[in-house]
A and B are shown apart, each in its own frame.
Chain A
């Protein structure tokens, strides 16, 4: 799960409307925007009663996805199996 850092805006706040924020919300959550745009969206979310719940909703969803990863029931057994196959292939340092 990515960490949500605080983004500082070096040139003062850029004003964005709700539509622009909604269109870039996932890019924001994925930290794929420029530092300026990250800061602008962060400022908007801090003030906007309409967009902030949407942000919380999507963030909770991404947290749930991250937590839902399926884990192998026998990782040690699989490791042994892979190691055995690699030895049979000629790998010596394992």
Chain B
């Protein structure tokens, strides 16, 4: 009986030490997925309950944050019936070149400074929320949670090349959305918009 109690205590301590310390990161990921604090709260609670119930399947010392993100995302997708999962993707190199076109559009305007305006944050969050989930998750994991491509691939359960494609496409769509926002708000000139479809 005592052995059993000690084992449970050790298990709970390990969960606290490895999983619960990731609460802030999981919360940010859930907020970015749900775009709604009440839904994020439910998602975070469900993520940690599922993780606690499945703790025996977790391999101690491995990437616990990534394991929690996988649970969080699967739970989110289940609640959304895996909507928007399929997105046609271009080759990463093509996405990178198309992103360069966004820069060409604003080459003579101070958009680098515009990116860093404090009041652009809500627009970035809104634009991020409008991305298809598969692109949004890639951007969140790499650009906001600082994961390497292979770590993000494990969370998303896809090959590294797919992460790369989704990430580059997501970034380009975000840049285009933010450029439109900046032009509408008068931060960037709109008379260059006609150039947006041109090739390099």
Contacts and interface: CB of A to CB of B under 8 A. Distances in A.
A65 B124 contact: yes
A25 B96 contact: yes
A89 B100 contact: no
B45 A85 contact: yes
Contact of B27 (A57, A62, A68, A75): A75
Interface in B116-154: 116, 120-121, 124-125, 128, 139, 142-144, 146, 148-149
Nearest to A74: B37
Interface in B26-56: 27-28, 31-32, 37, 40-41, 44-45, 48-49, 52-53
A86 B23 CA distance: 13
B196 interface: no
Interface stretch (A5-13, A39-47, A76-84): A76-84
A85 B20 CA distance: 13
Interface string A37-67: 0000000000000000110111011111111
B107 interface: yes
> Is chain B's interface secondary structure helix, strand, loop, or mixed overall?
helix
Interface string B92-118: 110011011001001100011101100
A94 B143 contact: no
B125 A70 contact: yes
B143 A62 contact: yes
Contacts of B167: 26
Given A60-B115, A82-B48, A89-B53, A65 B139 contact: yes
A63 B113 CA distance: 11
Given A30-B142, A62-B143, A91 B171 contact: no
A64 to B, nearest CB: 4
A58 B98 CA distance: 12
B99 A58 contact: yes
A62 B170 CA distance: 12
Interface residues of B, number: 55
B105 to A, nearest CB: 11
Contact of B23 (A32, A58, A68, A79): A79
9 pairs of A and B residues whose beta carbons are closest in the complex: A93-B12, A68-B124, A64-B115, A68-B121, A60-B112, A23-B93, A60-B115, A65-B143, A70-B31
Interface of B: 8-9, 12-13, 15-16, 20, 23-24, 27-28, 31-32, 37, 40-41, 44-45, 48-49, 52-53, 92-93, 96-97, 99-100, 103, 106-107, 111-113, 115-116, 120-121, 124-125, 128, 139, 142-144, 146, 148-149, 164, 167-168, 171, 174-175, 200
Interface of A: 1-2, 22-27, 30, 32, 53-54, 56-58, 60-73, 75, 78-79, 81-82, 85-86, 89, 91-94
